[in-house]
Amino acid sequence: MQKLFEMKGYLTKYYAKYSKIVDKAIQFVLALLTFTFINQNVGFSEIIANPIMTIVLSLICMLLPRMMIVVLATIVATIQVVTVSVGMAIVFLILFVVLYAFYFRFAAGKSLILLLTPIAFMLRIPVVIPIVFGLVGSPICILPVTAGALIYYMIDYVRMNGSLFASVGEMDLLTQIGTYVQAIFANREMWCVIIAFAVCLLLVYSVRRLSVDYAWEIAIIAGTLGNINVMAYGYIVMDIQLSYVSLIVGSLVAILIALLLKFLVFSVDYTRTEYLQFEDDEYYYYVKAVPKAAVAIPEKTVKHIHERQKTGMIDAERVVELETMSKSNDDDSEIQRIIDEELKN
């Protein structure tokens, strides 16, 4: 465990030193995953779906504010959809505008959740989003999580039915719009997932704020079980096919990720918990103080070895030279005088 804390300390120190570079690298990866998700599901335009174009767009997003990833992703997705169906593209764009209106009104600054939710669906671990942002966020995060889930199912419907819309050339614009809107908002699976995510996030947020030991760990387990129960009940009631293996495996992976996040941002030592009580003229105060768990990072010191200084000693070469002089010179007192002077120096 000490090695883990030391590693955490090194990571924290490294991030503090190179935070700007790390943030930009993360932003590039996030943009790359976002455009990859769009191209894998609705990559009908070969030019935009080209890997080189994806990398170029990701590099552009790296230099811009994070919210611009959402804007560019919307533009790219709309262009991809319009190549299949103009009606679907119109609905797509209108729904994005409505979602952004709610986003800017109530959840501004949470574009990260909006981007990560479809990516989590793509990675088959969507429940990690409500668990993680229940730990580090607030109930308002339900809005971007819901918007992200809606975006995923909008794109997923285009992926599954885009070729059908493209093949039916005689379908007029209003019919396309009506069919797409009905398919999106009548998707029982989508509503079940949105409700399960909201319950999960609220459970995690409520439990992790309790003044009990291991509140974060309990919150992670409670949120995961809440999500599984709501999903299972909803799928049974709505008669929807559910892969329990995928649900359980995804939940276990989400738990591991949440525990890793907890270790990085909320490491405490409950064995050293202290309870304080004091008062003033109007209130009594009961305080529970839990110290953060940390270890000192060992500092590496480098010792520089300098050239040996003269400290009353004569080098071996000088000794040989003096001995030679003494053999060739009968006056030993002069030789002794030279030795005494060099020893003094």
Residue range 308-340, pLDDT digits in tens: 555 545 555 555 565 566 555 555 566 566 666
| Domain presence at residue 259 | yes
Is residue 291, in this structure, part of any structural domain at all?
Answer: no
Q: Are 326 and 228 in the same domain?
A: no
Question: How many DSSP H helices and E strands does the chain contain?
Answer: 14, 2
pLDDT of the residue at 29: 93
91 with 229, same domain: the answer is: yes
34 within a domain of the structure (yes/no): yes
Sequence-distant (6+) residues with CB within 8 A of 210 are: 218
27 and 165 share a domain? yes
**Pairwise pLDDT comparison (343 vs 71), residue with the higher score:** 71
The verdict on 18 and 160 lying in the same domain is yes
In terms of pLDDT, which residue wins out, 61 or 291?
61
pLDDT of residue 58: 93
**The last residue of a domain, from among 246, 272, 298:** 272
pLDDT tens across 19-68, in order? 889 889 999 999 999 999 998 888 888 888 888 999 999 999 998 888 88
The DSSP secondary structure of 255-282, one letter per residue, reads: HHHHHHHHHHH--B-GGG-EEEEEE-SS
pLDDT in tens, 99-122: 777 766 666 677 788 889 999 998
Instruction: Assess if residue 232 is contained within a domain.
Output: yes
The answer on 222 and 126 residing in a single domain is yes
Per the structure, the count of domains in the chain is 2
pLDDT of residue 289: 81
The reply to whether 26 and 98 lie within a common domain is: yes
Tens digit of each residue's pLDDT (9 = 90 or more) over 177-232: 888 888 888 899 999 999 999 999 999 999 999 888 889 999 999 999 999 999 99
- Mean pLDDT (the chain, rounded): 82
Indicate whether 102 and 186 sit together in one domain.
yes
Residue 128 pLDDT: 95
In a domain, 293, yes or no: no
Angle at 50 between CA 45 and CA 56, to 5 degrees: 120
Q: Which of the listed residues 252, 272, 292 is the one where a domain comes to its end?
A: 272
In a domain, 257, yes or no: yes
Residue 340: the pLDDT is: 62
Do 217 and 322 reside in the same domain of the chain?
Answer: no
Of 73 and 265, the structure prediction assigns the larger pLDDT to 73
DSSP-assigned states of every residue in 77-89: HHHHHHTT-HHHH
Please give the pLDDT value at position 211: 84
Closest Cα partner for 136 from 260, 5, 9? 260
The residue-averaged pLDDT of 135-153 equals 90
Domain assignment of residue 324, yes or no? yes
The winner for highest mean pLDDT among 80-89, 183-192, 278-287 is: 183-192
* CA 91/CA 181 separation, integer angstroms: 7
Average pLDDT of span 134-156: 90
pTM over 0.85: no
Q: Indicate if 226 and 344 belong to the same structural domain.
A: no
Residue 277 within any structural domain of the chain: no
Q: Which has more confidence, 297 or 198?
A: 198
Residues 128 and 228 in one domain: yes
Could you tell me the residue range of the domain that residue 237 belongs to? 2-272
List 276's β-bridge partners, or say none. 287
pLDDT at 20: 87
Between CA 10 and CA 88 the distance in angstroms is: 49
Amino acid found at 13: K
Most confident among 140-149, 234-243, 322-331 (mean pLDDT): 140-149
Tell me, yes or no, whether 51 and 120 share the same domain.
yes
Half-sphere exposure of 247 (CA within 13 A, CB side): 17
In the prediction, which pLDDT does 195 show? 95
Q: State the average pLDDT over residues 145-149.
A: 91
Tokens 């009548």 map to which residue?
186
Together in a domain, 199 and 327? no
pLDDT at 306 (0 to 100): 56
